[in-house]
Amino acid sequence: MNEIVITKEERTEKLQGMGCKRKRVEDIRFTQGRGNYVDDIKLPGMLFGDFYRSPFAHARIKSLDVSKAKALPGVYAVLTAADLKPLNLHYMPTLAGDVQAVLAEEKVLFQNQEVAFVVAADRYIAADAIELIEAEYEELPVIVDPWQSMAPDAPLLREDIKDKMTGAHGPRKHYNHIFNWQIGDKPGTDDVFARAPVTTKDTFLYHRTHPSPLETCQALASMDKVKGELTLYGTFQAPHVIRTVVSLISGLPEHKIHVIAPDIGGGFGNKVGAYAGYVCAVVASIVLGRPVKWVEDRMENLSTTSFARDYHMTTELAATADGRILGMRCHVLADHGAFDACADPSKWPAGFMNICTGSYDIPVAHLEVDGVYTNKASGGVAYRCSFRVTEAVYAIERAIEVLAQKLGMDSVDLRLKNFIRRDQFPYKAALGWEYDSGDYHMAMDKAMAAVGYRELRAEQAARREAFKRGETREIMGIGVSFFTEIVGAGPSKNCDILGIAMFDSCEIRIHPTGSVIARMGTKSQGQGHETTYAQILATELGIPADDITIEEGNTDTAPYGLGTYGSRSTPTAGAATAMAARKIRAKAQMIAAHLLEVHHNDLEWDVDGFVVKGLPEKRKGMKEIAWASYNQGIPGLEPGLEAVNYYDPPNMTYPFGAYFCVMDIDVDTGVFKIRRFYALDDCGTRINPMIIEGQVHGGLTEAFAVAMGQEIRYDKAGNVMGASFMDFFLPTAVETPHWETDHTVTPSPHHPIGAKGVGESPHVGGVPCFSNAVNDAFAFTGVSHIDMPHDYWRIWQAAERLGLHK
């Protein structure tokens, strides 16, 4: 009873529940080098696997001789397509309904494609053996430009499916075509465009890039032939899905497969899919009966495991002369590389690209996407963006700027005029989604005031005059973006992966002494789940967060879940956590009623226990209740205090934000300086404001990278030009600007704690903001659009093209 002597506020504070800046518990081990990553796991008798890869982007394999490699001492096996074919494993299914070569059979389709898998006593022997593999190739014509893919005389890429004119998403128009996907009202939209007073049309390229987590993709497979059980450690963002996929393709029963994702050093979407390395490690372990580890190097990561973006988006807006948007039309040419291995929920071949009407009340719209094959690596992952939302937001936020320029209107005024109003929520958008909640005007007003938007425009006007008079060689750009994200896939009615509905889960066990272990179907890769889920539980259960262990990533112990990507953990497993805790609280109330000898309806919740209504001194704390649940028979109740919840969200959550960037560009060198970057995010109820701030910093840094330089480029022969950190821009503290963060709070009406996801928002809002700043700086020349990435060299080229160097 001594709990009662401290105040309600003190007791609340002690819990470290929702809303508090609890320090990250995982950092205790991470900052001491005590994390446990896949490469830290060493099993007795463990061997190492490594790939021999294609030097060419498109070539016929005329011969492949692995005999010298096999003969090297220390080499245990060399697998080729010929070995996998009898097992029917030379191709594997992709999440997008295509198949992908595990090891190339007759042809290679992109540079660095996997051709043979060497298994040796250590990495170094494996590397030496790879040097001994002899292959002859006949080079074939290469397609790197997706606009050339469907030319009548284009080289045929996928011989394996050349006669299959229907793909997973309907008919194919050409042998290099993957799918055509359309949504919206085409005749209605065409009609609006035919009659609209003002229209705009531009093709925006959202270039190919890569998530490039610091830890590359890795796996360690260990087959116990006696038990017939496979243990697979790996860098998996979705361990349960990997277990199901391994079971389906290997034929091993699912209960005999143990998938364990230990600590992960960043995922960013790269670790959602299944890769050839996983399959080969598993096969090699089954064949050899020894554990086999596969660890990608940096070049392999950047050039072979899934890329992101590569969308060519022809975007049109129709409007009245005074800036009321009447309709939107968008066509996307999607470059999927050699295989369609896009990681999207099954029904959505272009992810949630149909959120492209953005934050605006656009009455009618039509979206069409064509996916095509090229001689590039496959993938198409949601690199810090919930399934193509960054592409969608880039399209609309660039188009808004172009329209404003054409109308001679301030682009913020154009946004304010067309925003979905607060009273319109829940808002049904023209392309199908129902936005749960938002207050866009409030967010934009707060952001404008914070940056002094009107003053910045006045300064820019004065500086432009000075530039024209030749007094300065610097031009100033003001980047604006306002985004609406769609995160938390997903309601089972909308989203599944390989037929498995995208729910998520939480299981809670309260031990007799009142400490807790809880497990979720999600998997942190650095987001801080061990810290934040415990905060949800602390508030819901009245047990201090420090008394709660959070565990994820072991499929034997965690309830089935679909994993962590698409900022879905908070909207799905976060909701399951609150719901499971509420089941426990309901049982705890019955126990407290028994202990206090009152009817349970006479009790009310009070921070960390139950009190008799009107008699606050009569109380039972959660610790006491936990003990009682194990120590005495309570009539009508099972012993123990445990619960599990599988949560199928009724809708996605729709976080939003207003971002501003002020940039100065030296036209003679192309060097830009980010003077200011302000980000206002609204993710509904905030669980841990410090973690959110960290998420925003990380997401903005990746947005800065992508917009201002990061790119996976190919030359005409299909050679990858961005496959190392020498060529691929990964900003360090030196280049990264200072971030100012801010927020508003508009809870999600359907989420049990009102929270929306936030992990990807800063990326989605950040990329268009940077690009808009560059484009805005040059807008006075009359140019409507300059493509990303805006590195110094390309900015200099733009200045040259626009005649600013004369």
DSSP 709: T
Q: Verify binding: residue 438, ligand PCD, rule CB under 6 A.
A: no
Stretch that binds ligand PCD, among 5-13, 104-112, 150-158, 380-388 (CB under 6 A): 380-388
What distance in Å separates the CA atoms of residue 124 and residue 28, rounded to the nearest whole number? 33
CB-based burial, 477-503: b 16+ in 10 Å, e otherwise: bbbbbbbbbbbbbbbeebbbbeeebbb
> Contacting ligand PCD (CB under 6 A), which of 453, 565, 677, 729?
565
**Computed from CA positions of residues 588, 591, 597, 600, in that sequence, does the dihedral angle turn out positive or negative?**
positive
> Contacting ligand PCD (CB under 6 A), which of 231, 306, 418, 567?
567
Stretch that binds ligand PCD, among 97-105, 223-231, 504-512, 757-765 (CB under 6 A): 757-765
757 half-sphere exposure, CB direction, 13 A CA radius: 33
Nearer to ligand PCD, 490 or 609 (CB): 490
Residue in 694, 734, 728, 723 with CA at minimum distance from that of residue 709: 728
Residue in 395, 437, 571 with CA at minimum distance from that of residue 494: 571
The least distance separating ligand PCD from the CB of residue 712, rounded to whole angstroms, comes to 16
The least distance separating ligand PCD from the CB of residue 656, rounded to whole angstroms, comes to 13
Among candidate residues 111, 218, 237, 460, the one labeled active-site is 237
Q: Verify binding: residue 744, ligand PCD, rule CB under 6 A.
A: no
Task: Decide if 495 contacts 352 (C-beta within 8 A).
Answer: no
Q: Verify binding: residue 267, ligand PCD, rule CB under 6 A.
A: yes
DSSP per-residue letters across 565-587:
-TT-IIIIIIHHHHHHHHHHHHH
Nearer to ligand PCD, 98 or 504 (CB): 504
Nearer to ligand PCD, 169 or 756 (CB): 756
Residues with Cβ < 8 Å from 253, sequence gap 6 or more?
Answer: 247
Q: Hey, how many other C-beta atoms are within 10 angstroms of the C-beta on 86?
A: 8
Active site includes 760?
A: yes
> Contacting ligand PCD (CB under 6 A), which of 184, 553, 657, 757?
757
Phi-psi category of residue 149: left, alpha or beta, with phi > 0 → left and psi -120 to 50 → alpha: alpha
Residues 34-53 vs ligand PCD: string with x where CB under 6 A? --------------------
CA dihedral 159, 164, 166, 169 (to 10 degrees): -40
Stretch that binds ligand PCD, among 611-619, 711-719, 758-766, 789-797 (CB under 6 A): 758-766
Nearer to ligand PCD, 412 or 486 (CB): 486
Which of helix, strand or coil describes residue 674?
Answer: strand
Among candidate residues 172, 243, 384, 388, the one labeled active-site is 384
Active site includes 384?
A: yes
Q: Verify binding: residue 566, ligand PCD, rule CB under 6 A.
A: yes
Nearer to ligand PCD, 418 or 531 (CB): 531
Task: Decide if 248 contacts 570 (C-beta within 8 A).
Answer: no
Q: Verify binding: residue 737, ligand PCD, rule CB under 6 A.
A: no
> Contacting ligand PCD (CB under 6 A), which of 759, 765, 768, 789?
759
Among candidate residues 695, 760, 769, 794, the one labeled active-site is 760
Task: Decide if 507 contacts 557 (C-beta within 8 A).
Answer: no
Q: Verify binding: residue 657, ligand PCD, rule CB under 6 A.
A: no
Q: Verify binding: residue 526, ligand PCD, rule CB under 6 A.
A: yes
Stretch that binds ligand PCD, among 78-86, 108-116, 151-159, 521-529 (CB under 6 A): 521-529
Angstrom CA distances, 339 to 102, 117, 471, stand at 11, 20, 53
Residue in 672, 693, 658, 793 with CA at minimum distance from that of residue 737: 672
The least distance separating ligand PCD from the CB of residue 380, rounded to whole angstroms, comes to 11
Nearer to ligand PCD, 49 or 563 (CB): 563
Active site includes 254?
A: no
Q: Verify binding: residue 243, ligand PCD, rule CB under 6 A.
A: no
Q: Verify binding: residue 519, ligand PCD, rule CB under 6 A.
A: no
Q: Verify binding: residue 116, ligand PCD, rule CB under 6 A.
A: no
- The torsion angles phi and psi of 189, rounded to 5 degrees, stand at -70, -45
The least distance separating ligand PCD from the CB of residue 94, rounded to whole angstroms, comes to 17
Strands in 308-319's sheet, in edge-to-edge order, are 177-184, 364-372, 325-335, 308-319, 198-209
Among candidate residues 217, 330, 342, 385, the one labeled active-site is 385
Q: Give the E-state strand segments of 348-458 in sequence order.
A: 364-372, 427-428, 434-435
Q: Verify binding: residue 532, ligand PCD, rule CB under 6 A.
A: yes
Q: Verify binding: residue 398, ligand PCD, rule CB under 6 A.
A: no
**Computed from CA positions of residues 124, 125, 130, 131, in that sequence, does the dihedral angle turn out positive or negative?**
positive
Q: Verify binding: residue 345, ligand PCD, rule CB under 6 A.
A: no
> Contacting ligand PCD (CB under 6 A), which of 358, 438, 528, 722?
528
Residues with Cβ < 8 Å from 609, sequence gap 6 or more?
Answer: 3, 542, 592, 619, 620, 621, 622, 624, 625
DSSP per-residue letters across 772-796:
HHHHHHHGGGT----PSP--HHHHH
Give the footprint of ligand PCD on this chain (CB under 6 A). Answer: 237, 266-269, 382-384, 525-529, 532, 564-570, 683-688, 691-692, 695, 698, 755-760
Q: What are the residue numbers of the active site?
A: 237, 384-385, 760
